[in-house]
Amino acid sequence: MTYFNQVFAIAGKDLRSELRTKEALNASLSFAVVILLLFSFVVDPDSEMLEQMSGGLLWMVFAFSGVLILNRGFARELPNDCLDALIASPIPGSALFFGKAIANFALIAIIEAICFPVFGILYNLTWTAQLPVLVAVSALATWAMATLGTMFGALTVNMQLRELMLPMLIYPMLIPALMSAMQLTTLLVAGQAIDSEHIVWLRVLIAFDIIFTSLAAVLVETVLVG
Amino acid sequence: MRDKLIYGAGIFAALYFVRNLYVILLQLPDEAMQGAVYRIFFFHLPPYFTAVACFLGAAIASGLYLKTKNWKYDVFAVSATEVGLALAAINLVTGMIWGRQQWGIWWTWDARLTSALITWLIYLGYLMLREGIKDPSERAKNSAVLSIFAFFAVYFTYKANEWYRTQHPGPVLTIRTGKNTIDPAMQAMLFHNLGAFLLLAVVLVAVRMNLENSQRAVESLRRRAHAIA
Amino acid sequence: MTALQAHDLWKYYGDFAALQKVGFEFAAGSCVALLGRNGAGKTTLLRILAGLSQASEGEVRILDGNPRQASVRSRIGIIGHGIGIYDDLSAEENLLTFARLYAVPNPAKAVDHWLERTDLARVRRGKAREFSRGMRQRLAIARAFIHSPNFLILDEPFTSLDDRAIALLQGLLKDALHQGATVVLSTHQLKEALELATHVLLLNRGKLAFSGVRTAEMLANPGWVYQHYGEAA
Amino acid sequence: MDQRNFEYMFYGLAAAWTILCLYALLLTSRGRKIQSEIDHLKRMLDSSPKK
């Protein structure tokens, strides 16, 4: 029981200090909305072609604005050597990892919760036909981003080029998850259910989450302890 | 003694390549549809398999380093990854040239070609990470973890891209998938060239390991020199 | 009961040996002052004891366990160079977070107790960012003692404290030692540290130069150990 | 030998060969750089006063 208590102690701490300062949240939120706006110059907003691109556009927005939050993940621990205080506390490395991943997940979810309606309004798409499935798929993809973001945040925490290294490492590896999310979101935003042809992408997402979450939970301890 | 072995193997690999080239250029018949250009294939597929072998070796060595903290695994991991990157570059470039000839476009969004490029970027990130961390123990530990992650990511990349391509069939370099029955002589040459590339990879990895060891020696010498001077 | 024991301890950064063949043993209730110049390996040793990094070779046992064991870490209190406090959170939130991390049975009560004890009760809602230097140090002390540890690791604790914080820390350390806790603190021959110390360890370029009981003349002349066992010897 | 797309085959093989050579050159140049550093360090160590 104490494990969950410790995980949510860390997630709560991260969320509280992020929601209090909102520095990363505001930056990535405005970044996301700006890209959504810019996109209307790329494709003529009420064309049928936009329907094809909705998933791709949305997940590109989430991926790029999400990294601004992921960068803050471990940067928050650097002043006053708080990371040492956390590693020295009796919590297992995986608890620290899950705590931070959940905090990142929640923050990126906030961005998504705002971007989907904005997207719907700007491009007058009724995207809520398959809402429950859409939320599930977004959650899976966001968790993939949070897992890799937190893990590589831990890998690069002591580096000077941290802000540059994290995107460099995370994007190539995230492509399979992003591809799946894009395929499924395009389908769901258009209101169609996930048919037999696209079910494979759900499996890719689920397998991606399971494998990388377990890998990260096992290896994060070796990364954090010097 | 080790260096002599490396030179010997290097010369043998070179001779093996010359012999293969001779057979490819002069003895093998033309492929019905593509004419002469299919011969690139012998320098496109073998380096791909060798690169994957290098990356797998690097991932295994990284796992062993994490368990035993023995330096030679870290040295092997970085050498294998670097050689793998070089071979993957060959695979990429020859694939592009072949695609250019087949369909007149430089970048055919073929599933394998795209996955090869993503794989290349992933392992480029590995080398960047190593450059960014100064303390040798920290560098070895973190890059070992990244190498294991990278190998799983590459597996996912190839799987996802294949499915993506089956739904949006772009130009597929048919001979590469070997669907049609391949001429036995070509088949044999494929394995010969694979053998040559594997031998070359071993030689390059060995050379790169010597380099890494002497780099490490220089760093410690420099530290001691500063301490004294 | 030996609270702290190290045997043939080595620590490499690459091939630079930060710690070479360090060994010692101290019973519970002893207060060890760790002396040595900058770069002698004090912080490296303390980080290994605190479970922040692993020894390359050799073995360390704290409270009959490995420093990386959760059961051992839950009984260790640490004050490092950085104070380990989140500037965005309030004093109360900081202590509550660490109380939950250390699975303290009744977090709220422990937090109130230690805010009282470090005279921060008035500013419990204030953000750590707005605190003065002295208040931040007292909050760090409260964090280190929140789970009433019986092993304390302090990295040069007295150097940047104001007089009030020094008095507070000395009082707390005395009480802990009375209750049989063990303290390891690294210091630069400060009188306040040497007064408390029952034993002294001197590190010189990663090697153990002296390990023994703290004698009266060491207290009288803090540089005594260096002259007899340090670089000059 | 079919003359149809001979030049592309040549480009392909040439590309493969050049990449290999570039990498080999990279290795030897790094080898030489390290060798010069070793010599520099030796000079530094020999000339410095013996402690």
Residue ranges of domains in chain B: 2-228
Label each residue of chain A as H, E or C: CHHHHHHHHHHHHHHHHHHHHCHHHHHHHHHHHHHHHHHHHHCCCCCHHHHHHHHHHHHHHHHHHHHHHHHHHHHCCCHHHHHHHHHHCCCCHHHHHHHHHHHHHHHHHHHHHHHHHHHHHHCCCCCCCCHHHHHHHHHHHHHHHHHHHHHHHHHCCCCCCHHHHHHHHHHHHHHHHHHHHHHHHHHHHCCCCCCCCCHHHHHHHHHHHHHHHHHHHHHHHHHHCC
Strand C76-79 versus strand C207-213 pairing type: unpaired
Q: Do residues C18 and C11 lie in contact, with contact meaning Cβ atoms separated by under 8 Å?
A: yes
Q: Do chains B and D touch (3 or more CB pairs under 8 A)?
A: yes
**How far is Cα A19 from Cα A12, in angstroms, rounded to an integer?**
10
Distances (CA, A) of B127 to A212, B79, C85: 21, 10, 35
Same domain, C225 and C209: yes
Q: How close B137 comes to chain C (CA, Å)?
A: 5
Same domain, C38 and C97: no
Contact pairs from chain A to chain C, CB under 8 Å: 88
D10 backbone dihedrals φ, ψ, rounded to 5°: -65, -45
Query: Which stretches in chain A have pLDDT values below 70?
Result: none
H/E stretch holding C163:
helix C163-178
- Residues spanned by the domain of A11: 2-224
- Closest partner residue to C85 among A2, A76, A80, by Cβ? A80
For C135-188, how does the pLDDT look when each residue is reduced to its tens digit (9 = 90+)?
888 899 999 999 999 899 998 888 777 888 888 888 988 998 888 899 999 887
Label each residue of chain D as H, E or C: CCCCCHHHHHHHHHHHHHHHHHHHHHHHHHHHHHHHHHHHHHHHHHHCCCC
Which among B19, D16, A83 is positioned nearest to C85, based on CA atoms? A83
Distances (CA, A) of C37 to C42, C121, C211: 8, 38, 16
With contacts defined as CB-CB under 8 Å, which chain B residues touch A160?
A: 132
- Contact state of D8 with B101 under an 8 Å Cβ cutoff: yes
- Contact state of A172 with B153 under an 8 Å Cβ cutoff: yes
Q: A126 CB contacts (<8 Å, ≥6 apart)?
A: A120, A191
- Contact state of A215 with B152 under an 8 Å Cβ cutoff: yes
By C-alpha distance, the chain A residue nearest B62 is A219
Q: Check CB contact of B141 with chain C, cutoff 8 Å.
A: no
- The DSSP secondary-structure symbol of B23 reads I
Q: Do residues B16 and B195 lie in contact, with contact meaning Cβ atoms separated by under 8 Å?
A: yes
With contacts defined as CB-CB under 8 Å, which chain A residues touch B164?
A: 179, 183
The pTM (predicted TM-score) of the whole model is 0.89
> What tokens appear for B170 in the block?
């772009």
Same domain, C113 and C176: no
Q: Best residue in B214, B219, B220, B223 to probe D by mutation, most D CBs within 10 Å?
A: B214
**How far is Cα A204 from Cα B156, in angstroms, rounded to an integer?**
8
Q: Running along chain D, 51 residues long, what does each successive block of 10 average in pLDDT?
A: 69 89 92 89 74 50
With contacts defined as CB-CB under 8 Å, which chain D residues touch B211?
A: 27, 30-31, 34
Q: Best residue in B101, B204, B205, B219 to probe D by mutation, most D CBs within 10 Å?
A: B101
**How far is Cα C210 from Cα A216, in angstroms, rounded to an integer?**
43
A156 backbone dihedrals φ, ψ, rounded to 5°: -105, 15
H/E stretch holding C209:
strand C207-213
Which among C198, C185, C194 is positioned nearest to C226, based on CA atoms? C194
Question: Within 10 A of B124 (CB to CB), how many other CB atoms are there?
Answer: 16
Q: Do residues A134 and A191 lie in contact, with contact meaning Cβ atoms separated by under 8 Å?
A: no
- Contact state of C54 with A10 under an 8 Å Cβ cutoff: no
The amino acid at residue B75 is: V
B195 backbone dihedrals φ, ψ, rounded to 5°: -60, -45
Contact pairs from chain B to chain D, CB under 8 Å: 97
Same domain, C159 and C224: yes
Q: What is the reported pLDDT for B80? A: 96
C183 backbone dihedrals φ, ψ, rounded to 5°: -125, 135
A81 Rama class: left (phi>0) / alpha (psi -120 to 50) / beta: left
**How far is Cα A87 from Cα A96, in angstroms, rounded to an integer?**
8
Strands (E), chain B: none
Q: How close C91 comes to chain B (CA, Å)?
A: 34
Which among C4, C116, C112, C10 is positioned nearest to C58, based on CA atoms? C10
Which among A106, A112, A138 is positioned nearest to A16, based on CA atoms? A106
Q: Check CB contact of C104 with chain A, cutoff 8 Å.
A: no
**How far is Cα C88 from Cα C97, in angstroms, rounded to an integer?**
13
Q: Best residue in C66, C76, C101, C139 to probe A by mutation, most A CBs within 10 Å?
A: C101
Q: Check CB contact of C132 with chain A, cutoff 8 Å.
A: no
Give this complex's ipTM. 0.89
Q: What is the reported pLDDT for C233? A: 42
Query: Which stretches in chain B have pLDDT values below 50?
Result: 175-179
**How far is Cα D13 from Cα D29, in angstroms, rounded to an integer?**
24
- Contact state of A21 with C86 under an 8 Å Cβ cutoff: no
Q: Do residues C145 and C77 lie in contact, with contact meaning Cβ atoms separated by under 8 Å?
A: yes
Q: Check CB contact of A226 with chain C, cutoff 8 Å.
A: yes
Interface chains of chain A (3 or more CB pairs under 8 Å): B, C
C10 forms bridges with which residues in the sheet? Answer: C57
- Contact state of C51 with A225 under an 8 Å Cβ cutoff: yes
**How far is Cα A127 from Cα A166, in angstroms, rounded to an integer?**
32
Q: How close C143 comes to chain A (CA, Å)?
A: 10
**How far is Cα A209 from Cα A143, in angstroms, rounded to an integer?**
7
By C-alpha distance, the chain B residue nearest A210 is B152
**How far is Cα D48 from Cα A144, in angstroms, rounded to an integer?**
56
- Contact state of B132 with A165 under an 8 Å Cβ cutoff: yes
- Closest partner residue to B149 among A168, A173, A179, by Cβ? A173
Q: How many CA atoms lie within 13 A of A77 on its CB side?
A: 23
- Contact state of D2 with B211 under an 8 Å Cβ cutoff: no
Q: How close C76 comes to chain B (CA, Å)?
A: 25
What is the count of structural domains for chain A? 1
Which among C182, C172, C166, C218 is positioned nearest to C31, based on CA atoms? C182
With contacts defined as CB-CB under 8 Å, which chain D residues touch B222?
A: 37, 41
Q: D29 CB contacts (<8 Å, ≥6 apart)?
A: none
By C-alpha distance, the chain B residue nearest D30 is B211
Same domain, C12 and C56: yes
Classify residue D9 by burial, with Cβ atoms within 10 Å: 0-12, 13-18, 19+. buried
- Closest partner residue to B40 among D2, D13, D31, by Cβ? D13
- Closest partner residue to B90 among D5, D20, D44, by Cβ? D20
Query: Which stretches in chain C have pLDDT values below 70?
Result: 189-190, 231-233
- Residues spanned by the domain of C135: 84-143
B2-228 CATH pick, 1.10.287, 1.20.120, 1.10.3470, 3.40.630: 1.20.120
Q: Best residue in A2, A5, A13 to probe C by mutation, most C CBs within 10 Å?
A: A13
For B126-178, how does the pLDDT look when each residue is reduced to its tens digit (9 = 90+)?
999 999 998 888 899 999 999 999 999 999 998 888 888 776 665 555 544 44
- Contact state of A85 with C80 under an 8 Å Cβ cutoff: yes
**How far is Cα A212 from Cα B96, in angstroms, rounded to an integer?**
31
Q: Do chains B and A touch (3 or more CB pairs under 8 A)?
A: yes
